Structure 1
Amino acid sequence: MEQVIGVIGGSGLYEMAELQDMRTVSVSTPFGNPSDDFIVGTLEGVKMVFLPRHGKGHRLLPGEINYRANIYGMKSLGVTRLISVSAVGSMKEEIVPGNIVIPDQFIDRTNAHRRGSFFGDGVVAHVQFADPVCGELSRCLASAARAAGATVHEGGTYICMEGPAFSTRAESNLYRSFGVSVIGMTNIPEAKLAREAELCYGVIALATDYDCWHEAHEDVSVEAIVALIKKNVTMARAIIKGAATSIHGYRTCQCGDSLQHAIITDRGVIPEKVKRDLGLIIGRYLD
């Protein structure tokens, strides 16, 4: 099977100028419109699909993003490995703004209105999510980040808040008491949906600030974030390029079989419309 790598660009990463043979693809999904058109091309000979998470021009709040349509669109374009690039706040002294974090755990503090599953409406599935990222892909990203000259923190917990406002000081200190490494607004439910879609999922988290907990540093501001993002995005592009050349063509992880034992519903009672809508996701498990 041809290897296709997907990249979802967060704040500051709205395009991948490095791609060759680029074309724009508009994808229609049963779940509505993705954040924007997908950009398909090749990088170092590897087929790649890019999508700006917030849309071109950064039009979408974290809570407005149609995560289901984004992941479905990636799956429909043949993506098997998905790299998420996200700006985050550091919750630990040693994670200095400008550092790269490759998180391996999440805590979900988002609100219920984010549609965090492809399932429901007559079909029930419960995927394993104890280890929410692909270890194989994450190790590759960490190695590529080190090769690119980044200061890398491999592993750690990403706490996902609803936003769009930044944390209160009380919230920031509460989250630090959880032992988390970084805080952001977008990787949940993205990671959950990637698991349901049987995609490998890994995160390049770009630390931009110390949130508001650090008394020796200024509180997080959009101006400071944007300035550091410009530097971090250059590094993120270098990491993606390095990862693209080192990811093996065949997956040896279990991400591609995440739904094998997850669907609980009797196949005979799943509504036909749901079968059609989810054919891309569950089709091979319906027989």
Structure 2
Amino acid sequence: MTKAVLGVIGGSGIYDLPGLTDIREERVATPWGEPSDALRFGRIGATPIVFLPRHGRGHRLSPSDINARANIDALKRAGVTDIVSLSACGSFKPDLQPGLFVLVDQFVDRTHRRESSFFGAGCVAHVSMAHPVGPRLVDRLAAAAEAEGVPHRRGGTYLCMEGPQFSSYAESVTYRHLGYDVIGMTAMPEAKLAREAEITYATLAMVTDFDCWHPEHGAVDVASVIATMHGNSEKARRLVARLARDFPAEREDCPAGSHRALDNAIMTAPSARDPAALARLDAVAGRVLRA
């Protein structure tokens, strides 16, 4: 069995993770460039934790400038088996109000400037994203939210836009009529890359605003997002601490198949694989490439 290691990616307003013990920091080199920041290793209870601030401490990186491949590769090299992604988002539903946490189960990717795969020329692979989050990990998040009294809703579709601008009114109304639940700028391609790296993934989407469709609320701005994020951050830290205290010591198989996502996914024949491409894939795809 594989030891379970919980990775936490902090979004806007969450640049550290209080409550960690046995803390050390390490800058992890990757073939894909520099991660957003140094990884912070520690424990909560008996569970090993690896924390990474997605935007870097001080919020140095815009959503479009985050090197998601380097981030996921670095977490994989650190032994992370499960990722909880904390992400601020806007809401398209009147009942998904600011302060609520949405445990999303689907994504729509509207980004266009980001590298979205570890695979490509020299080694082609196709993984399933039909069910992009780990159901058991979401079960544990829901149980932790319930235990901590954190208001939450299970299920929903997260639309990931490119940004860094917020939506136009026409975009917001369109996405709302299409039935999406929340909108953010960071879950993609993060979720895709986690699946390729065979890391179980779940997003905790923390509602900060109603985007700009709501007739009784003004257009979203940074000040309103930050104000709501202060309260959300405290709840997120409590939830993660509870999740970690109750986390299994050994990695659980994922019903969505994330733990073996690369089984039969690589299309390129062994004789046609580029050695340079294979060298870059040593961490994310080593299990199947070395088989």
C-alpha distance after superposition, 1:229-269 (max 9, x if no partner): 01000000011111112232231212110000111110121
SS of 1:128 mapped into structure 2: coil
Q: 1:125 is aligned with what amino acid?
A: A
2:242 is aligned to 242
What is the TM-score with the length of structure 1 in the denominator?
A: 0.98
- Is 1:143 the counterpart of 2:143? The answer is yes
Contact 2:105 2:131 in 1 (8 A): yes
RMSD (Å) for aligned C-alpha atoms: 0.9
Q: Which has the higher mean CA deviation after the structures are superposed, 144-153 or 60-69?
A: 144-153
Per the TM alignment, residue 280 of structure 1 is displaced from its structure 2 partner at its CA by: 1.4
SS of 2:176 mapped into structure 1: helix
State the alpha-carbon separation in 1 of the partners of residues 247 and 196 from structure 2: 22
2:71 is aligned to 70
- Is 1:39 the counterpart of 2:40? The answer is yes
1:129 is aligned to 129
2:80 is aligned to 79
Per the TM alignment, residue 73 of structure 1 is displaced from its structure 2 partner at its CA by: 0.2
Per the TM alignment, residue 151 of structure 1 is displaced from its structure 2 partner at its CA by: 1.5
State the alpha-carbon separation in 2 of the partners of residues 244 and 39 from structure 1: 15
SS of 2:192 mapped into structure 1: helix
Q: Which has the higher mean CA deviation after the structures are superposed, 121-130 or 268-277?
A: 268-277
Extract unaligned runs of 5+ from structure 2.
none
Contact 1:91 1:176 in 2 (8 A): yes
Contact 1:137 1:247 in 2 (8 A): no
State the alpha-carbon separation in 2 of the partners of residues 206 and 283 from structure 1: 34
2:189 is aligned to 189
Per the TM alignment, residue 221 of structure 1 is displaced from its structure 2 partner at its CA by: 1.3
C-alpha distance after superposition, 1:196-225 (max 9, x if no partner): 000000111110000100011122111111
SS of 1:49 mapped into structure 2: strand
SS of 1:279 mapped into structure 2: coil
Q: Which has the higher mean CA deviation after the structures are superposed, 213-222 or 27-36?
A: 213-222
- Is 1:285 the counterpart of 2:288? The answer is yes
State the alpha-carbon separation in 2 of the partners of residues 256 and 70 from structure 1: 18
Extract unaligned runs of 5+ from structure 1.
none
Per the TM alignment, residue 182 of structure 1 is displaced from its structure 2 partner at its CA by: 0.4
1:166-177 alignment runs, 5 A limit: 166-177=166-177
Q: 1:165 is aligned with what amino acid?
A: Q
SS of 2:189 mapped into structure 1: helix
What is the TM-score with the length of structure 2 in the denominator?
A: 0.96
1:110-129 alignment runs, 5 A limit: 110-111=111-112, 113-129=113-129
2:205 is aligned to 205
1:15 is aligned to 16
Q: 2:107 is aligned with what amino acid?
A: F
State the alpha-carbon separation in 2 of the partners of residues 247 and 126 from structure 1: 30
Q: Runs in 1 of length 4+ with deviation above 4 angstroms?
A: none
1:232 is aligned to 232
State the alpha-carbon separation in 2 of the partners of residues 282 and 87 from structure 1: 30
C-alpha distance after superposition, 1:122-171 (max 9, x if no partner): 11100010001111111111121121112211000000000000000110
Per the TM alignment, residue 277 of structure 1 is displaced from its structure 2 partner at its CA by: 1.2
State the alpha-carbon separation in 1 of the partners of residues 252 and 206 from structure 2: 26
State the alpha-carbon separation in 2 of the partners of residues 10 and 2 from structure 1: 26
Aligned residues: 286
Q: Which has the higher mean CA deviation after the structures are superposed, 167-176 or 238-247?
A: 238-247
Q: 1:262 is aligned with what amino acid?
A: A
State the alpha-carbon separation in 1 of the partners of residues 131 and 245 from structure 2: 25
Please, which of 253, 258, 261 is the counterpart of residue 255 of structure 1?
A: 258
